[in-house]
Every structure is written in C-alpha cells, then in structure tokens.
Amino acid sequence: MENRINIDPQYEMKASAFMKSAITGIICAGFPIASIIAICIGSRNHKAIVDYVASGGMHTPKIKTSAALCKGAMYGGIGMTIFYTVYFVFWFLVICAAAFSTLPNQN
C-alpha cells in the first residue's frame, strides 16, 4: 500500500509568511505603542493559521511554532499595554507632583 500525503504546494510560502508575521508581533509587543499593534498582528495571524489548518493545511512544527508565537504576541501585547499605561501614568503623576510642589504658598 502506498502512502500518499496531501502536500500543499504553497505550504512553504504560507508557513514563512506566518512565521514572519508571528516574529514581527513578538518584537512589537515589547514597545510602548507597538504593543497595541502586536495584539492585532497576533490575533489576525493566529486566526489565519487556524483557518489554514482547518481547511486541510499541513500541521507541521513550523506552523505550531508560528501559532505559539502569535499567542505570545497577543498576550505579551496585552500585558505590555497594561504595564506601559501604568508606567506612564505613574511618571505623569510624579512630574505633576514635582511641578506643583514648587508653587509658592498661597494663603
């Protein structure tokens, strides 16, 4: 009996695109404004990977790695967005406190 594997002719192109997008999302998750973009990149790419596998695409380690990196980009983007929001609000309050502490006493 002959083993026939249904090989997607566009697999390598799709897998490379998924991996590039996943790595871009992971990198963007570490920067203040780009962390919001990382959430979008990660969720869009993860949905594309799920659709690709559901339509009969190959489920290889490269695809699995891309999906894991996409999840990391989503959750990392959410976490870093919260972190940077708290961080900038904290420093805004510190600067305001320092600025208002130098005002003369107005009795």
Tens digit of pLDDT per residue, the chain (107 long)?
445 556 777 888 999 999 999 999 999 999 999 999 999 999 999 999 999 999 888 889 999 999 999 999 999 999 999 999 999 999 999 999 988 888 777 66
84 closest CA partner among 40, 47, 30: 30
Contact assessment for residue 48 and residue 96, using Cβ atoms and an 8 Å cutoff: no
53 closest CA partner among 4, 8, 3: 8
Residue holding tokens 């790419």?
Answer: 45
DSSP alpha helix (H) spans, 29-60: 34-54
